[in-house]
Amino acid sequence: MFLNRAVCGLRGVHSTRGLSSRASTILSSLDISTTDEVPGVYDGQWGGSGEVITSICPTTGEILARVKTASPHELSEVLGRTREAYTVFRDVPAPRRGEIIRQIREALAAKVRLHLGALVSLEMGKIKTEGVGEVQEFIDICDYAVGLSRMMNGRIVASERPGHSIFEVPNPLGVVGVISAFNFPVAVYGWNLALSMAAGNATVWKPSHTTPLCSIAVTNIVSRVLESNGIPGAVAGLVTGGRDAGSAIAESRDIELVSFTGSEHVGKIVGKTVMSRFGKTILELGGNNASIVMPDADLSLAVPSVFFGAVGTAGQRCTTTRRLYLHRDIAPEFLERLQTLYATVKPADPLADNTLLGPLHSHAGLKTYNDTIEHLRSIDAEILTGGDRYTEAPLDAGNFVQPTIAIPKSVDPTDHIWKKEAFAPILNVAIFDKLEQAIQWNNAVPQGLSSSLWTRNMQNLGKWIGPSGSDTGIVNVNVGTSGAEIGAAFGGNKSTGWGRESGGDAWKQYVRWSTCTINFSNNAPLAQGVNFPA
As a whole-number percent, the residues of the chain with pLDDT over 70 amount to 97
User: Which of 189, 372, 195, 419 is closest to 284 using CA atoms?
Assistant: 189
Question: What is residue 3's predicted lDDT score, i.e. its pLDDT?
Answer: 46
CA quadruple 98, 100, 105, 106: dihedral positive or negative?
positive
Give 13's pLDDT tier (boundaries 50, 70, 90).
Answer: very low
Catalytic residue flag (residue 284): yes
Contact 446, 421 (CB under 8 A): no
Q: Is the pLDDT of residue 15 over 80?
A: no
Question: What is residue 113's predicted lDDT score, i.e. its pLDDT?
Answer: 82
Distance CA 103, CA 454 (A): 41
21-285+501-513 and 289-485 share one CATH topology? no
Q: Is the pLDDT of residue 265 over 70?
A: yes
Mean pLDDT calculated for residue range 420-431: 97
Question: What is residue 233's predicted lDDT score, i.e. its pLDDT?
Answer: 98
Q: Is the pLDDT of residue 6 over 70?
A: no
Mean pLDDT calculated for residue range 70-81: 96
Mean pLDDT calculated for residue range 188-195: 98
- List, in order, residues 6 or more apart from 418 with CB less than 8 Å away: 323, 408, 410, 412, 428, 441, 444, 445
Q: What are the φ and ψ backbone dihedral angles of 178, each rounded to 5 degrees? A: -115, 115
Range 21-285+501-513 classified under CATH 2.60.40.10 = no
Marked catalytic residue, from 123, 134, 137, 284: 284
Question: What is residue 533's predicted lDDT score, i.e. its pLDDT?
Answer: 86
Average pLDDT, the chain: 95
Give 16's pLDDT tier (boundaries 50, 70, 90).
Answer: very low
Altogether, the residues listed in the chain come to a count of 534
Q: Is the pLDDT of residue 12 over 90?
A: no
User: Which of 190, 170, 195, 168 is closest to 180 using CA atoms?
Assistant: 190
Q: Is the pLDDT of residue 47 over 80?
A: yes
Domain range 289-485, its CATH number among 3.40.309.10, 1.10.10.10, 3.30.420.10, 3.40.50.460: 3.40.309.10
Helix, strand, coil content of the chain in percent (nearest 5): 40, 20, 40
Instruction: Name which residue leads in pLDDT, 426 or 533.
Output: 426
Helices (H), 355-471: 363-378, 416-419, 435-443, 458-465
Mean pLDDT calculated for residue range 446-454: 98
Q: Is the pLDDT of residue 90 over 90?
A: yes
Question: What is residue 354's predicted lDDT score, i.e. its pLDDT?
Answer: 93
Give residue-wise pLDDT tens across range 113-154: 899 999 999 999 999 999 999 999 999 999 999 999 999 999
Contact 302, 454 (CB under 8 A): yes
CA 166 to chain centre: 38
Mean pLDDT calculated for residue range 370-382: 97
Give 1's pLDDT tier (boundaries 50, 70, 90).
Answer: very low
Q: Provide the phi-psi class of 444: left if phi over 0, else alpha when psi is between -120 and 50, else beta.
A: alpha
Q: For the ranges 11-20, 53-62, 354-363, 371-380, which has the lowest average pLDDT?
A: 11-20
Question: What is residue 17's predicted lDDT score, i.e. its pLDDT?
Answer: 61
Give 55's pLDDT tier (boundaries 50, 70, 90).
Answer: very high
CA quadruple 130, 134, 136, 141: dihedral positive or negative?
positive
Mean pLDDT calculated for residue range 231-240: 98
As a whole-number percent, the residues of the chain with pLDDT over 90 amount to 95
DSSP string across 186-208? THHHHHHHHHHHHHT-EEEEE--
Mean pLDDT calculated for residue range 281-305: 98
Question: What is residue 80's predicted lDDT score, i.e. its pLDDT?
Answer: 97
Going from N- to C-terminal start, the domains of the chain cover 21-285+501-513, 289-485
What is the model's pTM? 0.94
Q: Is the pLDDT of residue 9 over 60?
A: no
